[in-house]
Amino acid sequence: MSEESQYQLLDKVNSPDDVKALDEKQLPKLCGEIRDFLVDKVSVTGGHLASNLGVVELSVALHRVFSTPKDHIVWDVGHQSYVHKILTGRKDSFDTLRQNGGLSGFTKRSESEHDAFGAGHSSTSISAALGLAEADRLSGSDAYTVAIVGDGAFTGGMIHEALNNCDSNHKLIIIINENEMSISKNTGRFAAGLAKWRSSSGYFNTKKVTAKILGAIPLLGKLILKLLKKIKKTFKNIIYGSNYFENMGLYYLGPVNGNDVDALEDILKLAKKQQDSVVVHIKTQKGKGYAPAEQTPDKFHSLAPVGSKNSGSFSAEFGRYVTELGDKDERVIAITAAMCDGTGLTAFKDKHPSRFFDVGIAEPHAVTYAAGLAAGGKRPFVAVYSTFLQRAYDNVIHDVALQKLPVCFCIDRAGLNPSDGPTHHGIFDVAFLSQIPGLKIYTPATYGALKIALNEALQSDFPTAVRYPRGAESQSICEHFYKEAPLSAGIRTDFGADEKLDAVIITHGRIATEAIKAQASLLESGKRVGIILLEFIKPYDKCAELVIQALNGRHCPILTLEEEIRNGGMGMLLRDSLIKVGTYEVNEFSIMATDDNFGYSAKDENIYKTLGISAEDVEKEILKLI
């Protein structure tokens, strides 16, 4: 079957107007073609599949009922916006999804006027949508703002902060997409309670008509209506229990089948008629229409690109090591913020369920909860992506470090993460953690070094951070630096004690592979450059001492190489420590890092090259130094 015949309707849809022009009888076929398109494309490029399969009908209904870009559609996280992108003229770019310079895997304002707000992290949608709705109200616009929030995002406190700020005078529609999943199964009281709330659109139609009729009765109408509302609420609370949203003064519609496009259109039109802030509760099936994703939605949450090699990962090795620590020490606790599978903690959860805690999408709570556990004599390991730890910075300082509590932050996805892009790069944690007194930062580049770092963290009576990249360890790093297994975390060198060196590269983590390539190329031109691999970076004074010992009296130019932000990063702080002890002058250093850049990548180019920190860039900079 040719592609043209496979997508008979979808080929004709290049804008929201094309979606509106379709007969409602054509919509089920369109939704089926969209699902086939998603499976075909995402299976090749990689990306978030199950969540997008679940919102096909919702995305179609939204673009039939609302008119973007005048109306604003705000997707929480943004990873479930693929269908929205297809319907807003970006279908032909899907071969570049999540590739350097290609279509983003999240919403992105610079990519399309139909993306009202960029996202990549959870629980920001209602705050942003409320801001857009308020801006429209102040400007006299009659536009609608719609926030689509997965029920998993409601475990994040920011959602409830935004709801607390909602009033009844915004043209704001909040859609709760209940699929009982974030990445892993949802946890917590809100998720449990959400499934119990039941009402119908008919009930709300009756409610509105009754209010209109009674309100029109002279003198007594409003008094009668107020009394009836009180009576109704009392009986409803006795029989059904209270509704969180109605108690906050918001209309609540639903739940409705979120995979029924006709039902969705009806309830969205009803929500528009309210001319007020409304919560619409829909129930969708994650992975809908694709049997493998329906059966195991967690495994199809995010697919790797076709041809990717699965040779293990730091996440899996971390999970294995921390489980071993838990076997030996009953004080060991594992905490995750809705990322049990993503951080590799499934093994710990299965082996030590009473000491495993998934707190939902609530990183600040996770950190302070860990602080409380540590104050109670436990040894908590908080597994979190670097980009998500940013949200708990105050808690790390105020609740952990200030009290010198032995919490270990296990920082996954450290460094650049090109497929997810700037929202998921782990380039800031070195700088912001380096500013915190009394916290040690480990930077293992191999599984063996990771195990040593975790062991040392468990024995420490102060806060620690162990940061490691996405994916597997590099064989070139293993072979280059680890001919002998390390006994403790320190530094690794590839040069002899008295070997003559023209320059030295100091680096940490995965980007050491670029240093190795640059070294080999420089050697061909007769330049001998040594490499120092740091297995920890903070405390920097201690790190500087080890570097001086390794140099053994030699005085040669130093280039520091890292894939994190330059300002306040390893290069700047280690340079300052070396200068402080009188060993080096500023002009004898060169610092190569992600320099004042969020890590945007150019089309069809390695991200290291785009950011000026590739092996070729290192080679050129070394030649300038010497």
Which residues are part of the catalytic machinery?
A: 286, 363, 391
Q: Kindly list the distances between the CA atom of residue 270 and the CA atoms of 200, 257, 548, in Å, as whole numbers in the listed order.
A: 11, 15, 71
Q: Kindly list the distances between the CA atom of residue 593 and the CA atoms of 337, 406, 436, 567, in Å, as whole numbers in the listed order.
A: 29, 30, 21, 9
Whether cis (ω within 30° of 0) applies to the bond prior to 69 is: yes
Give the single-character DSSP code of 401: I
Structure tokens at 90: 């970006």
Q: Kindly list the distances between the CA atom of residue 328 and the CA atoms of 64, 181, 273, 323, 538, in Å, as whole numbers in the listed order.
A: 58, 32, 61, 9, 28
Contacts of 511 (CB under 8 A, 6+ apart): 415, 561, 562, 563, 608, 613
Half-sphere exposure in the Cβ direction for 92 (13 Å, CA): 6
- Sole residue written with tokens 């409803």: 236
Residue 280's nearest CA partner among 464, 151, 162 is: 151
Do 360 and 188 touch, CB atoms closer than 8 A?
yes
Distance of alpha carbon 521 from the chain centroid: 37
Alpha helices, H only, 460-604: 475-481, 512-524, 540-551, 570-580
| Phi (first) and psi of residue 364, to 5 degrees | -60, -45
Do 56 and 177 touch, CB atoms closer than 8 A?
no
SS3 464: strand
- Residue 462, judged by CB atoms within 10 A of its CB (0-12, 13-18, 19+), counts as middle
Q: Kindly list the distances between the CA atom of residue 625 and the CA atoms of 267, 456, 473, 505, 603, in Å, as whole numbers in the listed order.
A: 67, 37, 30, 11, 31
Q: Is the CA virtual torsion 616, 45, 184, 178 positive or negative? A: positive
Question: Helices 570-580 & 540-551, crossing angle to 10 degrees?
Answer: 70
